[in-house]
Structure formats: C-alpha cells, structure tokens
Structure 1
Amino acid sequence: MSFQPIWWVIVAGLVLTGVTVALVRADRGAPPREARVAHRWVRLAICLLVVLIGVHPVIGRTSPPKPAPAGADVVVLIDRTTSMGAEDYDGNQPRIAGVASDVAQLVSDHPGARFAVIAMDNDARVEVPFTTDGQAVASYAAAIGWRENPRGTGSDISVGVDQARQLLEASRAERPGAQRLFVYCGDGEQTIDQPPRSFASLAGDLDDALVLGYGTSAGAPMQTYPGSGDYVSYQGSRAVSHLDEATLQAIAAQTGGHYDHRTAPGPLPATELAAGASAAPTEPGRTVEVYWVFALVLAGLLGVETWSGVGRYRRVRAQLADRTPTPHAGRGERA
C-alpha cells in the first residue's frame, strides 16, 4: 500500500477534528448521558474519516513507467505514378492496393514506431511527417490512389531520394539512438529518358531497408485514374505496364536492404531492427483505489448524524410548544 495525499482534504479534516475536540471539551460540564457520548464519538469518527480520505491510500505498484526504448523511425516512399494502377496484383487488383495492404502490415509489425510517408509522381512530397499514429499512416496509404494519366510527365522512380535523405538526417539529429528503416514501394518502371539516381546516399543512416515490388513481368493495363473505367492507351491500344525487378533489386543493393516481390497480401520480410526497437513505452503498474471504502463509512455516519439532528430538532420544537402559554377563554369579559 502507498499513499497519494490530497493535502487540502487532509487540512480540512484536521481543522474539523480540532473544532470537534474543542466542542467536546467545552461540553464536559453537561450531564453525561449515553446518547450525548455516542454523538461525540460519531462526530469525531466523521472528522477522522475525512483525514483518511485525504491521505488517499492505494494498493499496488505506483512506480513511474520504465523508459521506452530509443524506438524506430520508418521512412516509407510510395510510387503513385500511373503504372501503380496496373491491374496485376492478387489477381486483377491495382498495384497500389498491394501498397495499402503492406503499409498496414508494416504498421502492425512495428507498434510504437514513428512513420513518415513520401509520395512521388511528377515530383516527391512528404505527405505524412514523422508520427506514431500508425492508423493515420495506414489510412493515408489506403486512400492514396495514383496520378491521373493526362497529368503525367513520365516516371522517375528516384525523385524522392532527396526527401528521404532529409527525413533520415532529421531522425538522426532528433533521436540518435533510434533505429532507422527505409521502405520503398513501387514497380521499378522508369519512363523518363534518363536512368534513376542512386539510393546509396541513404545507406549510412539506415539499419535496414525493404524494397517491395508490385506487378508482373507480363504486365497489365491501368485505368487513367481510380474508378474511371477508362484505360490508358498507347498508339491506339491499351498501354501495358511491366514490373522491373532488376531496377528494384538495384535499389535494395544500394540501401543495404533486400527486395521482396509482392503478389498478394501476407507477412512482410523480417528486418534487422532489434527486438523491442519499436515497442511502446512500458505502462506503469496497476493500482487499486481504497478511499471509497472510507467514503462509504463516512456517508453512513453522516446519515446517522443527520437522523440524530432531525430527532433533536423535533424534540426542541416539542419542548418550545409545551412552554408556550395558551390564552384563557373569556379573558376581558364582564361578569
């Protein structure tokens, strides 16, 4: 048992106790009737119960929570170019549906970690700054969709390298003890007339990296935007997007991570993050409040005191009524 004192309640209880003791001493000269003595003890018990409630006893461990591990920071880079709408994931689902499923799994696998999300299409943007709200990250990935084809300027799968490096550098400055994971989600299809930039500049800040590839080598057509029903065409026929595993494997090698071809929802590859790196802070021990027991007794004694007070009030009224003279009939009349 330990105590969490509420000082103003304790002070109020001690003041009431002092006043009650003073009244008892002043009443010593009164006839020692049993009812009077019991009344004194009830009042004194009420005052002491107020003090006990103010002491606020609790049962159980009340030590502060243990410090949380340094944690993990996860930077997720999502390709949302038009090719991520190609319908060759888990049957005929768009590739971006696989991204949504895997991001939700990633959040589940790393409870308590901080996540940041970069989206890339014509350019790259940090859409979700570092947050521990994994549900918000999963919800964003589920709603991200893909770039409308008429607005495309070509796909550069490395356009988000600078933003990823900035986030990782910020993570290292803010939390040098944290572990860092980079996750790339895309199909590796580079459609601009230059090769993608290297991701090697990220490796120095990483403990591990995952490159998740979506699509098939046979390829599939894609709608111009989610739910449009219109498909991207090229030279009069439906355009087909193909998975480029060689490019994705190169990104994995540059970041010191590993590549995984994602064809359907399922477990993600294990990472090199230490066990517990993304664990949430340890909760403090549970405690049980016991002040309410004293409060129940106090309520009972207050009820006794109230009932006793009502009885005394009635007796006093009765005594006053007996002492009031009644007028004599015919007073003031002549004989």
Structure 2
Amino acid sequence: MTWTLSPALGWPVGCAIAIIMLVCAIGGIVIRVRTRGATDQSVSACVRRTLICLLVALAALTPSTVSSTTSKAVNATDIVIAIDTTSSMAVNDATYGSSETISRLAAAKHAVHDLTDAYPAASFSAVRFGASASLDVPLTPDTLAIDNWADSLNVESTTASSGSSLDTPLDKLLLTLKDIRQHHADDTIVLVLISDGEQTATTTRRTYSSLRRYVTDALVVGAGSTAGGNIPADGLVDSANETWVTDPATGQPGVSKLSPDTLNTIADELSGKAIMLDATHTVTNSLPAASKQWRTSITAKTRQRVTPVVWPIAIALCVLLAWELGAWIGLSRRLL
C-alpha cells in the first residue's frame, strides 16, 4: 500500500484551495511576528489558526492510499451480443450515423463500440454466427475485450456457407443466456442481435421465443439497405478487383437485401424492439435501461484502487474549530 494525493474536487480546485490556505497560514504567522507587542492574539491562537489553514489545505489535496485489487464493482446488467458474420454482411450498402457507405459488418462493429460506451460498467458476452455459432467471449466486465473482439471480426468464406439461416445461433444463445440467468438471477439481461435479416436456407427458421424466459430485454439491429448490394466473393470490397457471388439461377451477381420484416418478427418473438441502422439511426437511439443494482466481480486484470483518507484530518479540524469557538466565546465575555 502506498500513499498519494488525489484531490476530490480535482487538481485545479484542490490546488487553488491549498494555495489560498497556505498563504493564509503564512500570512497569519507574519502578522503575529510583526505585531507582537500591539496585539492581544496569543501564541496558542496563532498556532491554532495556522494549523486549521494547513489542515484545510491538506484536506483539499485529499491524501489517499493506493492498493492493488482484482475486484471490480460492475452494474448488474449483462449484455449478450450476437453478430451475423455470413458472407452477405460484407455487402457495402450500410450507413451508421452518417451518409458514408460502409459494409454491414463495419456498421455492426460501430454498434458494438457504442454499446460498450453506453454500458461501461456492465458485463458482456459475444457470439458470432454464420454456418455455425460460437461463443467467442464468455461473460466479462472487460469492455476492451469486447471492442477488440468486434474489431477482429471477418465474414466467413462463401465456400463455407450453405445458405444463411437466422436460427443458427439459437442453441448457443439458449445455453449462454440460461447459464447467465442461473448464476445472476436478479441481473438485467439484454440480448443484442445484429444481422441483415437475410434467410436463404431452405429450412424453416425456428422461433426465438424460447429465449424470452431468460432475457429482460432484446434489441434486434438491422445492418444494410433494402436496395441491397452485391456480395463480394472474397468477403472484401475491393474496387480494383470486384468479384461477386453469382446467383445460380440467373448466372448474374447475386443481390443481398436487408429484411426489416424478418428482423421485426424476431424482435416480436423476443418481446423486444428492432432498429434499422442508417444515417440517422444508431443503437444509441434505442438502448434498454441498465440495472440499478451493482455487484462485485473478480477479474484477471489487476487494478489500482485509490481510497481517500480524510477522516483523521476531519477529526483534527473539528477539535481545533471547537477550541477556536470556545476561545472566541471566552474573549467575547471578557470584552462585555
């Protein structure tokens, strides 16, 4: 454990108060020395008032202890993010908070960063899904890990895809959400599903209503446009070498379109809400409320905890001020 100064009012205000009090303390001593024979101020009064000024200055700078800890107070909000990484998410027809056109996956990444910014004290879990689903990040309060995960996402190869199926993450989400609910029964659990809503698999999509018992709220986020765009064969948009996934039925480049109806249906199954990302709509416009409860979590990252220690100063100030008040009352009675 080490000691440091950590002004509770901030360094500018704390330093200003400390300097003023220090000037007052020095000024009191100078005045006492210069007017030694022309004042009725006693030495004890001068010492007392000097100590009061010095203690106020010290309190403004807030002496604190610094200790290492792996515990962290986290908000009782658990956000499970599921992102579609099928090849259609590489289509360059999305916008996010501006008119700049970006890929659907890039819009999803922006959404994740906004989520971690909006819930800095929450816990997050991350799932990606394409031909299969995987839990990439178990529940953690480390928002940096979630941001890094989002930045590392890439769409799956078109050779690995056998048609988009929006129910691919259902089983993984069911296990993840059930486990979170069992371990944190009173937490607010929010499911955020980000996709273009495209369902090209021949099988009938299963309903998301089975997840409803485990979530407090749900947000279904649509990335892309209803006008659609061509799907890059390599998963990247390269204006110098544009190769597109072809539609077997026509032999022409296939067009992938955002499906708001499908996403709205999934939101209804989850008893949540849906939002389609565009130049004016981002996830920050529709975020569910965070929990008002907090709990302590143990993390692998060591943190420095700063604990103010001002109570000894407060006790000493109370004693000196009581002494000053008593001396002032005694002097007032003598002057009457």
TM over 0.5: yes
Give 1:130's match in structure 2, choosing from 129, 139, 142.
139
Query: Is the CA contact 1:232–1:239 (under 8 Å) kept in the aligned structure 2?
Result: yes
Aligned to 2:246: 233
Helix, strand or coil at the partner of 2:228: coil
Who wins on radius of gyration, i.e. which is larger?
Answer: 1
Query: Is the CA contact 2:74–2:122 (under 8 Å) kept in the aligned structure 1?
Result: no
Q: Sequence identity of aligned pairs in percent? A: 25
CA RMSD of aligned residues (A): 3.1
What amino acid sits opposite 2:81 in the alignment?
Answer: V
Helix, strand or coil at the partner of 1:233: coil
The answer to which structure has the higher strand fraction is 2
- Are residues 1:262 and 2:299 paired? no
Query: Is the CA contact 1:211–1:251 (under 8 Å) kept in the aligned structure 2?
Result: yes
Q: CA deviation at 1:263?
A: 1.6
Q: CA deviation at 1:241?
A: 0.2
Mapping 1:201-240, distance limit 5 Å: 201-224=210-233, 225-226=235-236, 229-234=242-247, 235-240=250-255
Mapping 1:106-145, distance limit 5 Å: 106-145=115-154
The CA distance in 1 between the partners of 2:105 and 2:296, in whole Å, is: 28
What amino acid sits opposite 1:269 in the alignment?
Answer: S
- Are residues 1:274 and 2:291 paired? yes
The CA distance in 2 between the partners of 1:181 and 1:212, in whole Å, is: 13
Give 1:248's match in structure 2, choosing from 255, 258, 263.
263
1:16-39: per-residue Cα shift (whole Å, max 9, x none)? Answer: xxxxxxxxxxxxxxxxxxxxxxxx
The CA distance in 1 between the partners of 2:296 and 2:278, in whole Å, is: 29
Query: Is the CA contact 1:84–1:146 (under 8 Å) kept in the aligned structure 2?
Result: yes
1:79-124: per-residue Cα shift (whole Å, max 9, x none)? Answer: 1101111111124311000000000100111112111111111111
TM-score, normalised to structure 1's length?
Answer: 0.62
Query: Is the CA contact 1:71–1:278 (under 8 Å) kept in the aligned structure 2?
Result: yes
For structure 1, the 5+ residue unaligned runs are 1-58, 291-335
Aligned to 1:300: none
Q: CA deviation at 1:75?
A: 0.8
Query: Is the CA contact 2:75–2:123 (under 8 Å) kept in the aligned structure 1?
Result: no
Flag the 1:102–1:69 CA change in 2: closer, same or farther, 3 A.
closer
The CA distance in 2 between the partners of 1:232 and 1:98, in whole Å, is: 21
